Amino acid sequence: MNYKWLRKKPMKNLIVFMNGWGMNKTVVQKLSFKDYDVLMVNDYREYDDKLYRMRLSGYQKKYLIAWSMGVYVSGLFGEFFNDFDKKVAIAGTQKIIDDEFGIPKKIYNYTIKHFDEESMNKFFKNIFLDDKKTFKTRKTIQELQDELIAIKNYDIDYGIRYDKAIIPTQDIIIPYKNQLNYWKKTSAQIMEIDSPHYVFDNFKRWQDILC
């Protein structure tokens, strides 16, 4: 895993951002920090427990914002995040490889087996629903494939009690209906937005996501 401070002043409040598969800081670079330090976690090819050893106790309030695969992988830290003041899941569930609550298993396994440059380009088209938008992941096809395999093999704790779930109604990466199926069975506040899988064009500040 990779841990990167997107901002560290320090401020009084902290956001831990669990990013999506294959993604880097460019996905949220337009968001205004305002009163928050932000620590990003990404690259899930290997698990490590560095997050437990980082000095995060000095903040008055701590928040978890997880997007896409980050919602699932956040379960590796289980009860650690349950002590946070608020936890927001975006375009993901804690059962990410699931026919009813996530990406159908057949599709996930097919993607791993046949992942190539064409698959990657199709993925970017689908997260934006726009042929012209993309991100530079700076990862090779093999690295992205390895990350998919690692995520599949993790032993995830589904015990994180998310307070809010933002569900994009146009999502075809993790189907909208599957996200809704999952979060309706929890106590999380559900917020539906008219958006594809990439939702961050809908927000100007990190605070907007937390509200």
Check which CATH number belongs to the domain holding 63 and give it: 3.40.50.1820
Name the domain count of the chain.
Answer: 1
Q: What angle do CA 66, 68, 71 make, to 5 degrees?
A: 45
Residue 129 binned pLDDT confidence (cut-offs 50, 70, 90): confident
Domain range enclosing 39: 2-210
Across 165-171, average pLDDT: 98
Q: Give pLDDT, residue 136.
A: 72
pTM above 0.75, yes or no: yes
